[in-house]
Amino acid sequence: MHDIRLFTPFSSRGTSFVNRIVVSPMCQYRAVEGHVNAWHLAYHARFALGGVGGAVIEATAVERDGRISEGCLGLWDDSQVEGFSKIAALYQEQGIPVGVQIGHAGRKGSSASPWDGAGPLAGATPPRGWPTVAPSSIAHANGWPVPAALDERSIARIVASFAAAAKRAASAGLDFVEVHGAHGYLLHEFLSPIANLRTDRHGGSFDNRTRFALEVARAVRQAVPEQMPVWYRASCVDESEGGITLDETIELARRLKQAGIDLIDCSAGGIRGPVARSTRPEAPGHQVAYAERIRREAEIATMAVGLITDPLQAENILREGSADMIAMARELLADPNFAYRAARSLGHPEPHTVLPETFAFFLARRNMHAKPAHDPASA
């Protein structure tokens, strides 16, 4: 068992993960005014019973007008805390740490759900949505509304909103927080010269463009207990010419580490088009190289994500030192018991033990008595 990296423990600050498989944050677009409901509990229960090492709750708005869509979760109000406590209990009863990804959608906010086209709500009939904000008054794409450029007072308010949301996450009993700095949302917009044309202290130079992200990172770090991990999801490259480069993200990671960030969740893209679009071909593990370089050159823990679907693929990423954790999204939707499948595939001596005791007991008996399909004695 100890030879299988995927099933070795990992520690982030004061939190221990029993294995390296993490549920990636996946927006469900099912909330009402930011509140957790029965859908979210059923959704997370599938993973909590599937043997994962950790989980990150979907992108959760720090302000009402910071939502991606009307159906996004929120932690902008104390009344929302109870629902997150219920999600926390689902995982923690199985010994699984769970965190939440907090963010602000910026100019990509006030949009429809993906199955409704993911376009701006501004053109909806009857009218829906809310005004959006960004570092500069540049629309996300043709047909999208022009956002209002944030002034210094509004920037400070949003930084404080991140801190307040992080405090609510801690009060909900969650184990860690992930700051959403990727996929074309507000923090990423400030970082990318494609979206940020400011000439003040939050624009222009790399130092200025990183200022907002570092202000948020420090505020969140100070808002939560010292032993509570704070992670950061980054779009490591923009998919457009003139955007963020991997070298810049490596330097950002160094500065985030100094600000108290414990791990970089390495994604890509989203500043102009869909999320998770990088300059590399979208083949299995196409973003792993970003996690490897950031881990090595910034000397900070990383999590790899992006078309990681095979147990041996995940194992090799860890063995080669390319990342410390493996985040999975659609593969876990397809197979919430991926951890059990991986344990069997990789030769774990007691694969059933990665699952809750109730499941493990009966699966151990099943495996003891089951005969391979090719065994003549089973005919």
Catalytic residues: 185
SS3 313: helix
Residue 127: count other Cβ atoms within 10 Å of its Cβ. Answer: 8
User: Cα separation of 315 and 4, whole Å?
Assistant: 7
Residue 134, strand partner residues: 149
Q: Is 1 buried (19+), middle (13-18) or exposed (0-12) by CB count in 10 A?
A: middle
User: Cα separation of 331 and 313, whole Å?
Assistant: 13
Residue 74, strand partner residues: 61
Q: What is the Cα gyration radius of the chain? A: 21
User: Cα separation of 218 and 223, whole Å?
Assistant: 9
Both structure tokens of 51: 């043997």
SS3 175: coil
Contact assessment for residue 114 and residue 69, using Cβ atoms and an 8 Å cutoff: no
Pairing of strands 301-304, 148-149: unpaired
Q: Could you tell me which residues come within 8 angstroms of residue 286 by beta carbon, excluding any fewer than 6 positions away?
A: 278, 280, 306, 307
